[in-house]
Amino acid sequence: MGAKEMEHRDSRKTAKAAKPSRNVLASKPILERYLREYRKLLSAKSVENRSVTISFPFHLAANHRIEITATELDKDHYVLSDAARTLGEVQDAGYSLTSQMKDRIERIAGAAGLTVKDDHLTMESSAKALPASMQRFLETAKMIGDVYLVHKNRIESESSLIPHIRRALDSKHLLYREKEKLRGRIEVHSFDLVVPPNGHPGLAIGVVSGQNTHTLATSWYFKCDDIKHAEGNRNVKLALVYDVGCGTWSEASRSILADKADAAIPSDSLREMPQRFQSLVATSH
């Protein structure tokens, strides 16, 4: 085979390999349609000569949309701000912005490259990185809102799980108290049942129930993290029973709970609960 024939054959192979798959071609119009409709949900208004506020179809409490103001400092530098809206929502929900709470919020924001200045979430960005920066800012503001503004009303199915948990503890002769609080490094957190340490590790059990499971998982992740950072809780294990009858728990949401709690138990595993609870309080040798 001559060199030219081989070259022609190789070029055909390359062209064939570069041909888009049928799945990619099929998804393109769907993605374009989604982006076209999504743009309609965005709104923007000029605030000053160099500032624009964009309203996104993502909500905090009271159905308030998340808004980000982008201000051009110079040709290649921008600063993003939420105009203190996120922390304002937290205050409206009845929270006091103590120094400890601000410290926690600063840690959440700092992990994404944001800072907190005078209750404003802010972030600096280059012009090139502006789209990615705005997306990260949006996700962080939503996360902070989710941690503090998640729906607090107890759901009927949540309270109906408590008798099953009581029976599981009783079957292993574990003494417990109900409606107890644990002090974290920053805040105080409520648990449904707590087995006090008594020659064995303590056990705090929380029932996690609701339809927005990712929001709930994120909220409980930070609660557990705060508790584990408190020096006095080293001998306390954390168990979360998540209600699969109320909401759909994705693998990602389950993993968030399991990553921080000592045990994340689905509510349809009632028969396993006695042994799981006993193993958590078993004295280490």
Give the number of other CB atoms < 10 A from CB of residue 121.
26
Structural contact between residues 78 and 71, judged by C-beta atoms closer than 8 angstroms: yes
- Give me the pLDDT at residue 100, please: 79
Q: Which whole number is the average pLDDT over 106-131?
A: 91
Domains along the sequence of the chain with CATH = 38-149 (3.30.1460), 156-281 (3.40.1350.10)
Report the range of poorest mean pLDDT among 115-124, 135-144, 212-221: 212-221
Summarised one tens digit per residue, pLDDT across range 213-230 is 887 888 899 899 999 999
Residue percentage of the chain with pLDDT more than 90: 38
208 burial type by CB count under 10 A (0-12 exposed, 13-18 middle, 19+ buried)? buried
pLDDT at 152 exceeding the cut of 50: no
Which one-letter amino acid corresponds to residue 171?
Answer: S
| Residues 76-112: tens digit of each pLDDT | 999 999 988 888 877 776 677 778 788 888 888 888 8
Quick check: 52 pLDDT over 50? yes
